Structure 1
């Protein structure tokens, strides 16, 4: 996990593996859509977006930090 601790060790993401996962998710989404499994499409799409964020180096903590004001409260 890029910059995140997992069991006391830091792990970097393999860009090729993340790209492969993202590609497979795209293909799975098309298959789910053809089967009219719309909730599954949505969940796969969220994983696809997350994989893209990982490729770009965007971390969930970065997103939360951008939404947090000086007082530590979430902003809308």
Structure 2
């Protein structure tokens, strides 16, 4: 007999549900930071809140991994001689 009780498996959450939950928590944290006068903290939380909203609206991708930075791929040319 197994001494551990079987726990029911939690239903899988979608990324959209997780981001929506995160956004809701960020809204609450933003209020706390605002009430405490923590302006910089409130600003960063607000930026994360906006980012989560953009992801939910489809404006931004969930992740930027694999997209690369186009500026990094630009070849640099040597400056050569500078004429004054």
Q: Which runs of 5+ in 2 are unaligned?
A: 1-13, 62-84
* Structure 1 consecutive aligned stretches of length 4 or more whose deviation exceeds 6 Å: none
Please say which structure displays the higher CA radius of gyration: 2
> How much is the aligned-residue C-alpha RMSD, in angstroms?
1.4
Q: Which has the higher helix share?
A: 1
TM-score (norm 2): 0.54
Q: Separation in 2 of the partners of 1:33 and 1:16?
A: 26
Q: Which has the higher contact order (CA 8 A, sep 6+)?
A: 2
Aligned to 1:68: none
Q: Which has the higher strand share?
A: 1
TM-score (norm 1): 0.59
Answering whether residue 24 of structure 2 is matched by residue 45 of structure 1, we say no
Aligned to 2:55: 54
The number of aligned residues is: 48
Q: Which runs of 5+ in 1 are unaligned?
A: 1-12, 61-76
